[in-house]
Amino acid sequence: MVIIVNEEKKSVPDGLALSSLFGELGLQGPLKGIAIAINDQIVLQKKWESTVLQENDKVLIISATKGG
Protein backbone atom coordinates (compact mmCIF):
# COMPACT_ATOMS: atom_id res chain seq x y z
CA MET A 1 0.00 0.00 0.00
CA VAL A 2 1.07 3.61 -0.41
CA ILE A 3 1.27 6.14 2.41
CA ILE A 4 2.74 9.62 2.53
CA VAL A 5 5.54 10.18 5.05
CA ASN A 6 6.69 13.78 5.50
CA GLU A 7 5.27 14.62 2.07
CA GLU A 8 6.97 11.67 0.28
CA LYS A 9 5.09 8.68 -1.09
CA LYS A 10 6.27 5.39 0.42
CA SER A 11 5.25 1.85 -0.37
CA VAL A 12 4.79 -0.26 2.77
CA PRO A 13 3.22 -3.65 3.53
CA ASP A 14 -0.53 -3.80 4.17
CA GLY A 15 -1.48 -3.90 7.85
CA LEU A 16 1.74 -2.20 8.97
CA ALA A 17 1.67 -0.98 12.57
CA LEU A 18 2.93 2.52 13.19
CA SER A 19 5.60 1.11 15.52
CA SER A 20 7.03 -0.92 12.60
CA LEU A 21 7.21 2.05 10.24
CA PHE A 22 10.68 3.08 11.46
CA GLY A 23 12.17 -0.26 10.39
CA GLU A 24 10.46 -0.01 7.00
CA LEU A 25 11.97 3.44 6.51
CA GLY A 26 15.43 2.29 7.62
CA LEU A 27 15.42 4.58 10.65
CA GLN A 28 17.20 3.50 13.80
CA GLY A 29 18.06 4.91 17.17
CA PRO A 30 16.15 6.00 20.25
CA LEU A 31 12.54 7.02 19.76
CA LYS A 32 12.65 9.72 22.41
CA GLY A 33 11.80 13.21 21.26
CA ILE A 34 9.73 11.99 18.32
CA ALA A 35 6.14 12.98 17.63
CA ILE A 36 3.95 11.38 14.98
CA ALA A 37 0.71 12.58 13.44
CA ILE A 38 -1.50 10.63 11.06
CA ASN A 39 -3.85 12.71 8.95
CA ASP A 40 -3.21 15.73 11.19
CA GLN A 41 -4.02 13.81 14.41
CA ILE A 42 -1.25 13.27 16.99
CA VAL A 43 -0.76 9.61 17.94
CA LEU A 44 0.51 9.03 21.46
CA GLN A 45 3.60 6.81 21.67
CA LYS A 46 1.75 4.26 23.80
CA LYS A 47 -0.64 3.72 20.83
CA TRP A 48 2.05 3.20 18.16
CA GLU A 49 1.88 -0.61 18.54
CA SER A 50 -1.90 -0.75 18.09
CA THR A 51 -2.23 1.87 15.35
CA VAL A 52 -2.41 0.27 11.90
CA LEU A 53 -1.66 2.41 8.88
CA GLN A 54 -4.17 2.62 6.04
CA GLU A 55 -3.81 3.30 2.31
CA ASN A 56 -3.09 7.01 1.60
CA ASP A 57 -2.51 7.92 5.26
CA LYS A 58 -0.49 11.11 5.65
CA VAL A 59 2.17 10.52 8.31
CA LEU A 60 4.17 13.39 9.76
CA ILE A 61 7.24 12.48 11.82
CA ILE A 62 8.83 15.27 13.85
CA SER A 63 12.05 14.93 15.81
CA ALA A 64 12.93 17.37 18.57
CA THR A 65 16.41 18.87 18.36
CA LYS A 66 18.56 20.69 20.86
CA GLY A 67 19.41 24.30 20.29
CA GLY A 68 17.99 27.70 20.67
Summarised one tens digit per residue, pLDDT across range 43-55 is 999 999 999 999 9
Residue 38's pLDDT band, with cuts at 50, 70 and 90, is very high
Question: Is 5:36 a contact under the CB 8 Å cutoff?
Answer: no
Q: Which CATH superfamily includes the segment(s) 2-63?
A: Beta-grasp domain (3.10.20.30)
Q: What angle do CA 27, 19, 68 make, to 5 degrees?
A: 55
In a 3-state reduction of DSSP, which class is residue 25?
coil
Structure confidence at residue 52 (pLDDT): 97
Structure confidence at residue 68 (pLDDT): 57
Q: Where are the domains of the chain?
A: 2-63
